[in-house]
Amino acid sequence: MNTSAHCPAEAQIIAREQDSRTIVSLTVRLTDPAYANEFEFQPGQFNMLYLYGVGEIPISISSDPASSDTLTHTIRAVGRVSHGLARLEVGDRIGLRGPFGRGWPLQDARAKSVIVITGGLGCAPVVPVIDYVINRRSEYGRLIIMQGVKHSDDLIWRERYEAWGKHPDTQVLLAADMGGKQWNGVVGPVTELFDQAHLPTENSVAFLCGPEPMIRACVKRLTEEGLAPDRIWISMERNMQCALGQCGHCQYGDKFICKDGPVFSYAGIRHLFGVKGF
Amino acid sequence: MHSPLRNFLPRNNFSELLTALSDGGYRCLAPKVCDGAIVYKELPSQDTLSTGISIHQAPGSYRVEITDSARNFGWSNGPQGLKPLVFKSRETLWSVRRDTNGQMTFTESAAEPDPVAIIGVRSCDLAALALQDKHFLNNHNRDSHYQTRRASLFLVAVNCTHPSDTCFCASTGDGPTAQDGFDLLLDELDDGFVIRAGTEAGEKILETLPVDPVAPEQAEAISRQNQRARECQTRRLPSRNLEQALFENLEHPRWRTVAQRCLSCANCTSVCPTCFCYSEQDTGTLDFTRSEHVREWDSCFTQGHSYIHGLTIRADTKLRYRQWLTHKLGSWHSQYGRSGCVGCGRCISWCPVGIDITEEVTAIVSAET
Ligand SMILES: Cc1cc2nc3c(=O)[nH]c(=O)nc-3n(C[C@H](O)[C@H](O)[C@H](O)COP(=O)(O)OP(=O)(O)OC[C@H]3O[C@@H](n4cnc5c(N)ncnc54)[C@H](O)[C@@H]3O)c2cc1C
Ligand code: SF4
Ligand code: SF4
Ligand code: FES
């Protein structure tokens, strides 16, 4: 299914999780049962969420694609729309259109080791990837999850990380630029975790998501370790108005991030990646 | 490619064309001088086309002069091409009502089919329309608003006989004579028009007109004036595909010097017939029961265009001018198979400080820095 191109469909909040002071997960269901039944998405795709009278913003879908009759969005309250969305309660309604974009290349990753590196809230768009691999654990090689945050108090979903780490051949490594009292992860940038990870560079893929400076540093380390540019996948963020490849806001050189991405192979964007102004 | 020049419509029979179009259900828009520039305005029935308009364009300058010439189309172009007719500068995409229970009803708005004939379309604008078609009507997405308006157009093109100093369509391959994309095409002579059809719809109108055969001298005169129009153009782009050259020169010092002149005013993008950027916003009613979601032309020269939370990707003019030029003359090739510039020269005339795109790009891609 696809909702109509420009016009949202109504969705109702059926669950709300306050993940941290500023981060909220909203699980919604499209109120039109036909839409709800037909909705399908790939991990890494996003929806445009509409707050009544205010506007629309792109938010990744962070729930399991296997149960797409409900859709979870993990939202950090940063501005006009996201603050409003974060204040909504169960039963409230929003507008939703999607899914948009191209997600993570999970088929391509089959039988390979999967390295997931995220920073800040970056984790949300890759949660479905982690769940996907864990649910098919034997079909993939090692799973290495590295997450960095500014302050250890920003880390959401500690229990999830713990649970993931208990699976066979699965390594969870956490870093915080500033560690609080009960922090037993690494203190420093996420790149500090590379030494502990003993990354498999043969037959592996890396999925990266988070602030660009952090991604740049990680891409550098990964290439130094010998991972080929076409094995490194990055989820990109730019201003988005339409999500249809029309409004021009998300252009990145010749790419429209909303339709050609948001997930790109590093090989496809390396000529612009890190160049100021793109 | 071109049908032979067969049909001559004497000037005093031109009104027959307008009548045929209005009988065919079209409103006619024709060029008029309005506030010192050419615009397409509705032509009331029985009214005649303006004559003797002459346009002088130069970097940062656009002047209209009225001469005693009997010709209707002896000028180049106005500030807008066809873009505002298909891609509105502001339009409602959808609206939403919210009842007291918080339930929302979304209503998508649709453009009304409005058959409209535009008289005097230039070849650069036909090329720009073809480019906008690629952007708004492709396999990934078809914009229904654009599509409805596009399907309502009847295009009466005219080959340019008087390009302005700012025109460089000959160098982009988009003019000054039209190759395709028109319903009817005119070549203007002093005593009338040689007219040919490019589509079946055009053919149908043409059949009804009282035309004479074309005399050999007339055909020759046309070929001469078309050649003159091509040869009088002095501006040019260094090559038709500048994508690689531009992206290899992202650190060229010229970006900084052009940015010192550029006001980041977005005049260039609003007159450019191929620029497609827009932004969306909500406007709620005061009682908060209804909200309209509108889109409005936007520009890569604005502060908000590249804003993401906590960061503006192109905070300064240098980065914005570079975005505009690398996109227009560069990445368009990868996106849509050709340059995004059709050589209409509008961005040169309407730039308040007279920045000339051909001069800037030549400086940036020429070997010596
Ligand atoms: C593909 C994609 C996936 C995303 N996934 C998530 C997610 O899962 N969770 C999450 O919390 N955030 C996500 N974001 C970022 C989120 O869209 C922005 O935080 C949000 O747009 C900010 O809007 P605002 O109105 O609250 O902020 P304001 O600062 O008030 O922004 C004003 C407007 O600018 C635009 N804008 C601002 N920041 C961004 C941005 N980063 N990306 C696109 N447009 C922006 C929007 O139109 C926004 O309404 C994603 C962004 C993209 C592009
Ligand atoms: S870039 Fe300038 S000359 Fe080229 S099509 Fe746009 S307005 Fe015309
Ligand atoms: S190039 Fe000229 S018209 Fe374009 S933004 Fe700069 S000052 Fe304005
Ligand atoms: S968000 Fe409009 S083109 Fe990508």
SS (H, E, C) B276-296: CCEEEEEEECCCCCEEEEEEE
Are residues B358 and B268 part of one domain?
yes
At B369, the pLDDT band (50, 70, 90 cuts) reads very low
Q: Which residue of B has its CA nearest to A54?
A: B282
Taking one residue from A and the other from B, the number of pairs with CB-CB distance under 8 angstroms is 119
Measured in angstroms, the CA of B135 and the nearest CA of chain A are apart by 7
B231/chain A closest Cα distance in angstroms: 33
Residue B139 lies inside a defined structural domain of this protein? yes
Which domains, from first to last, does chain A contain?
Answer: 4-100 (2.40.30.10), 113-269 (3.40.50.80)
In terms of Cα–Cα distance, which of A190, A193, A169, A165 is closest to A114?
A169
Residue B189 domain flag: yes
Cα distances from B208 to residues B18, B45, B199, in angstroms, run: 11, 18, 15
Q: List the beta bridge partners of residue A146.
A: A117, A173
Which of these three, B187, B205, B231, is where a domain ends? B231
Domain end position, chosen among B204, B231, B258? B231
The string of pLDDT tens digits covering residues B125-146 is 999 999 999 999 998 889 999 9
B157 domain-assigned: yes
Residue identifier of the C-alpha nearest atom 6 of ligand 3: B262
Q: Compute, in degrees rounded to 10, the torsion defined by CA atoms B64, B69, B72, B73.
A: -60
Task: Give chain B positions within 8 Å (CB) of A239.
Answer: 304-308, 313
Average pLDDT over residues B107-120: 94
Q: What is the mean pLDDT of residues B226-254?
A: 95
ipTM of this predicted complex? 0.93
On the question of pLDDT at A4 being above 90, the answer is: no
What Cα–Cα distance (Å) separates residue B218 from each residue in A114, B70, B193, B283? 73, 17, 10, 57
Please indicate whether residue A57, judged by its CB atom, sits closer than 6 Å to ligand 4.
no
Q: What is the pLDDT, as a whole number, of residue A158? A: 86
In terms of domains, do B136 and B62 share one? Answer: yes
Please indicate whether residue A55, judged by its CB atom, sits closer than 6 Å to ligand 1: yes
Count CB-CB contacts under 10 A for residue A91: 11
Is the same domain home to B53 and B181? yes
DSSP B305: G
Virtual torsion, Cα B253, B259, B262, B268, nearest 10 deg: 70
Least confident of A74-78, A159-163, A254-258, B145-149: A159-163
Asked if B48 and B168 sit in the same domain, the reply is: yes
Are B251 and B164 contained in the same domain? no
Please check the confidence at residue B368 and state whether its pLDDT lies above 80.
no
- Structure confidence by residue, pLDDT tens digits, B1-18: 455 789 999 999 999 999
Facing residue for B279 by CB, picked from A7, A93, A241: A241
Has residue B178 been placed in a domain? yes
The answer to whether the peptide bond before residue A262 is cis (omega within 30 degrees of 0) is: yes
Same domain, B87 and B150: yes
Residue B347 CA to ligand 3 center (angstroms) comes to 8
- Residue B43 sits in the same domain as residue B178: yes
Per the domain annotation, does B254 fall within a domain? yes
Tell me if chain A has a CB within 8 Å of the CB of B32: no
Q: Are the C-beta atoms of B60 and B349 separated by less than 8 Å? A: yes
B315 and B225 within one domain: no
Same domain membership, residue B30 and residue B64 = yes
Residue B72 to residue A163: CA distance in whole angstroms: 78
The pLDDT of residue A122: 65
Domain end marker among B231, B259, B279: B231
What domain range includes position B109? 8-69+79-231
* A254 neighbourhood in chain B, CB within 8 Å: 243, 330-331, 333-335
Give the closest residue (by CA) to ligand 1 atom 48: A57
For residue A98 and ligand 1, the question of a CB distance below 6 A is answered with no
Which residues in chain B have their CB less than 8 angstroms from residue A238's CB?
306, 308, 313
% of chain B exceeding 70 in pLDDT: 98
pLDDT tops 50 at residue B106: yes
Residue whose entry in the numeric block shows the structure tokens 């589509």: B199
**Ligand 1 within 6 A of CB of A74:** yes
Helical (H) or strand (E) element with A265: strand A263-265
- Strand-pair partners of A263: A235
| Residue A118 reports pLDDT greater than 80 | yes
Three-state secondary-structure class, residue B186: strand
Co-location of B326 and B358 in the same domain: yes
Residue B1 within a domain: no
Give the Å distances, CA to CA, from B134 to A241, B90, B127, B142, B145: 19, 21, 11, 10, 15
Q: Can you say whether the dihedral through the CA atoms of A198, A204, A209, A215 is positive or negative?
A: positive
Instruction: Tell whether B74 is covered by a domain.
Output: no
pLDDT of amino acid A185: 84
Closest CA to A211 of A127, A121, A125, A76: A121
Q: Are residues B212 and B145 in the same domain?
A: yes
- Write down the pLDDT at residue A66: 87
For ligand 2, what atom is nearest to the CA of residue B271? 7
Per-position DSSP letters for A135-178, written without gaps between them? HTGGGSS-EEEEEEEEEGGG---HHHHHHHHTSTTEEEEEEEEE
Same domain, B28 and B58: yes
Total of domains in chain B: 2
* Whole-number Å distance between alpha carbons of B355 and B260: 11
- Which atom of ligand 2 is least distant from the CA of B275? 6
Q: What is the pLDDT of residue B3?
A: 58
Task: List the single residue in B with minimal CA-CA distance to A278.
Answer: B313
Q: How many CB atoms lie within 10 A of CB B311?
A: 12
Res B116: pLDDT: 97
* Predicted pLDDT at B358: 97
DSSP assignment, residue B300?
A: T
Q: Which atom of ligand 2 is nearest to the CA of B346?
A: 7
Give the closest residue (by CA) to ligand 2 atom 8: B344
- Evaluate whether residue B237 is within a structural domain: no
Q: What pLDDT is attached to residue B1?
A: 41
Q: Tens digits of per-residue pLDDT, A70-112?
A: 999 999 999 999 999 999 999 999 999 999 999 999 988 999 9
